[in-house]
Each structure stands twice: as C-alpha cells, then as structure tokens.
Chain A
C-alpha cells in the first residue's frame, strides 16, 4: 500500500483549486484522483460564459476557467491520475481505487479532500404519468451530447425545471436550430439566475411558465408530446388547466445533489439540508483530516465560490499534515430558523474571522438577516431581497466569536419593523 500525504478525490474546479492551495501552502506530496478522461470536471461541458468574474475579473467560458486551473496544477507538477474511479474511503483514510493501468489499488492518505462534485436530480421525472419513450434527458446529459459529442438530442423541446442548466440548454438548443416550446417551473419563482432568464429565454421569446409542471408524457418509442398543467399553492396540478404541447424531447432541470456515496461509506455525518458533510470553518468533516469542498459539500451558484471554498480546504489540509492536529479553541454550532435553510460551515472551532455562507428557503423582500447568541443580536443586516437561488454571506469577526456565551449561534430572517 502506498502512502500519500494528501489525496484529493475529484479533479474538477474544487479538486484543482484545493490541490493548488495545498501546494502553495508548502505541501508537496499530493495526488489528485479523477474518474474522467481529463481534468476540469463539469466545466468542460459548460461552454457558455459568465465564469471567473470574481476570480479573474474577466468573463470566461467553463473550459477556459478549467484550463486556467489545469495550468496551475501542471506548472506545479502536482500528480494526478485520470480514468481512476475511487471505490471506497475508510474512516482511517485508506482509499481503494481502480483504473485500467494499475488495476485495483489502495492508498494510505494522511489527509483527504472530498471534491466529487454533484449530479443532477433525476427526481423530476419519477412521478410523471405515461410510458418512458426515448427523448427524455436531464439537461446536463443533453448538454454533454451537444457540447462535447456534437449531437442534437431533439428538435422540439419542453424543459421541466428552470435551474440554470435548463435555461442555458434552452438557449443552446435554440441556437443550434431546435424549437424550445416552454420551460415549466413547479415553483412560483425560477431557481436560475435572473440574467439567464433574460439572455437564455427572453432573448428567444421562450415562455417561462411558473407554477406549471408536466403531468403526462406521450409517445411509445419516442416522445411525441407532453401534457402540462398549472399547479395550486400546494403544488397539485389543476385539471382544468391541462394543455398538450407537441415535442420530441423533454429535458429535466430539477436541481443538483451532492455526490456523497464515498462520504457516507466513510461514516461521515451528512447534513440533511445540504446533502453534504457537516464541516467546520476549515471544511473539515467530523473525521479529522478529511475535508470536503465544492459542490460535494453544498451546491454553489458560481464556480468562483467553489474555488474560494476549495482554497480554504486545501490550505487547512496542508496545515493539518505539516503542523499536526489542530487543537479546538472553541466549538460553536450554527443553527438556522428554517427561513435560512442552512449554513456552511455548520460549526466553528477557531477564534479567527469566519465567513459563513447560507441559503434562504423562499424569496423574501425588505428583511433583516439576524445572527443571535441566545437573545443577544450580534449581526443585523438589512437586505432588499434574498432568494433561494442566490447564496448569501455574513462574516463573523474573531471579536464576535470570542464574545459568544451560549455555545451556539442562530441564523434567521426577520421582517423590518
């Protein structure tokens, strides 16, 4: 069994940023394991632009953003193994993996960074009536066909779910000559960025049908059409509003879910809301020396934030190897009120400044973000608008953290009085 100081599982934007940050912190014995044929992860198929505005102060496409990090990995000669599938991570940090060159092999890791990313929720299709003809794809699968393989999955398209990938694919398929009939969104608001509704739907007069869902799929061998309907407040379809739309393709863009099979296998506890590990400010999970970052931890809106978070994990993993165990100065649990769905990190074990990322459950206007230590308000931040699609942040200063007496902080949304 070989020994490696730091093994990073996943060579997408999270894994690459973490590797570079760990290297720059002084660690040399690093290995990235990637299951695909090249580094870059999902960015390789995200050929649209809008990446990197925060990081590089310019607008890049997904492949360009990925390549900048790939160059950084290559310049540092950080080793990586491609086409390599990790099968298991044990609680004592032994990794079992395989590829066609080395066969099955194990590595004893000093520290591990989990950077496996996320996958699409197949959920949207499960409870739709009708048979399962050809022509039903997740938006990401269609994206791979069009952008990587050069095949068009269909000509007349209905999209269920208005997540960003669905919106981006509405434009992509339209540019390539398909007709996108409608984007149906179950919720009364879109889960995608406002700019994508503007430039991907409005630019091409594609209707966004909020509070609508697909209730039936028609066709035997190939999709021939779908029946859609408006839904009531309880998200139940209203029968009188049913309408038929002829199409040959149904794309599903119903959200993303962190890919945590390996995490669960290692016995790491998972937050029910994020579907990612519980972590502290270093993105360390409840197994010491095992860190998680990027979309495997919680789904991000922007890759720029993935890189930022992964640098935290990379630096912390390097410090863990080089300086040994870090003594917990404090242990503060971060709690949420339901209007704020989750925070990352979920606990704080240091007295340094910490930026807390969080997501809200619904669209709220003219509210305050309130952070309390017991009854004591320590942050009270006005917001004109918060929405589930946009991650928010607050920074806890070390003075605030030092002053905490109740052992926990509650994060909530309150109305403006």
Chain B
C-alpha cells in the first residue's frame, strides 16, 4: 500500500510517498528533501506525534501562550488540552518556565512561550 503524506517538519512541505506492507510496516519512503522528512514519514505511519501550542490561564486573569517542549502522541492532543486548561500560571512566570511537568506521562513538559508580565 502507498500512503501519501505532506511533511510538516518545515515550511517546504515536501510530498512524501510511503510504501507500507500488509502489517503497515514502512518499506520505503520517497519525496523527501532532507533526512528529517524520512524520519517524519516513519513516525507518522507508526506513532504520529505533534507539538501542542495553546494558552494557559494566569492567576489574576488573562492568558499566557504555552507549548509542549517535545512532541506528544497525536491521539493524546485533546486529553493534554484538558489538563492544560485546568492549570493556573503564576503572574511571575518567565518565558520557558515549566507549568506542567511530564504531561500525562508523555515525557513532554508544558512551558510558557513568553513572560507573563511584559
């Protein structure tokens, strides 16, 4: 089976063709411009991963942008969102501060992407 994918690793967006066997194991990948595209095709066909970027509420009002500092399994995105939407970030948090450690056991921390106070 051939699966067609768009590589999401950089803005070039290469069109990848992945050849899979009956057990959905990757046989070959074509269409990538750089090595990262080949890696992406492999993980995308076995265990797709995504970075989450969202906001978290600040104690005392307002929101601050946050992200997962590593990718998390794609199917866990909405569960992670539920957890992130519960958290309250300190008003003194600085860019890069961890607001949730190892979210849902994924190994990724949720960190702020700017200083709360500007």
Contacts and interface: CB of A to CB of B under 8 A. Distances in A.
B50 A194 contact: no
Interface residues of B, number: 29
Given A175-B77, A176-B54, A63 B113 contact: yes
Nearest to A302: B11
Interface string A130-154: 0000000000000000111110000
B107 interface: no
Contact of B8 (A67, A176, A198): A198
Contact of A47 (B10, B11, B78, B113): B113
Interface stretch (A48-56, A284-292, A397-405, A406-414): A48-56
Contact of A150 (B10, B15, B55): B55
Contacts of A198: 5-6, 8, 13
Interface in B1-50: 5-11, 13, 15, 50
A61 B54 contact: no
Given A47-B53, A50-B11, A146-B55, A64 B77 contact: no
A46 B79 CA distance: 23
B8 A195 contact: yes
A30 interface: no
B47 to A, nearest CB: 14
A61 B11 contact: no
Given A63-B65, A150-B63, A199 B8 contact: yes
Contact of B113 (A64, A146, A302): A64
Given A63-B113, A195-B7, A302-B11, A49 B51 contact: yes
A194 B95 contact: no
Given A195-B6, A198-B8, A67 B50 contact: no
Nearest to B66: A47
Given A195-B11, A195-B13, A197-B6, A47 B55 contact: yes
A61 B112 CA distance: 10
B108 to A, nearest CB: 13
Contacts of A104: none
Given A49-B67, A149-B63, A150-B62, A64 B55 contact: no
Contacts of B81: 175-176
A129 interface: no
Given A147-B65, A175-B52, 19 more contacts: A44-B114, A49-B51, A50-B11, A53-B11, A61-B67, A64-B95, A146-B55, A149-B62, A150-B55, A194-B6, A195-B8, A195-B9, A195-B11, A198-B13, A199-B8, A199-B50, A203-B74, A301-B11, A302-B11
15 contacts: A47-B54, A53-B10, A53-B11, A63-B114, A64-B95, A64-B113, A64-B114, A147-B65, A149-B62, A150-B55, A172-B54, A198-B6, A199-B8, A203-B74, A302-B11
Interface of A: 37-38, 44, 47-50, 53, 59, 61, 63-64, 67, 146-150, 172, 175-176, 193-195, 197-199, 203, 301-302
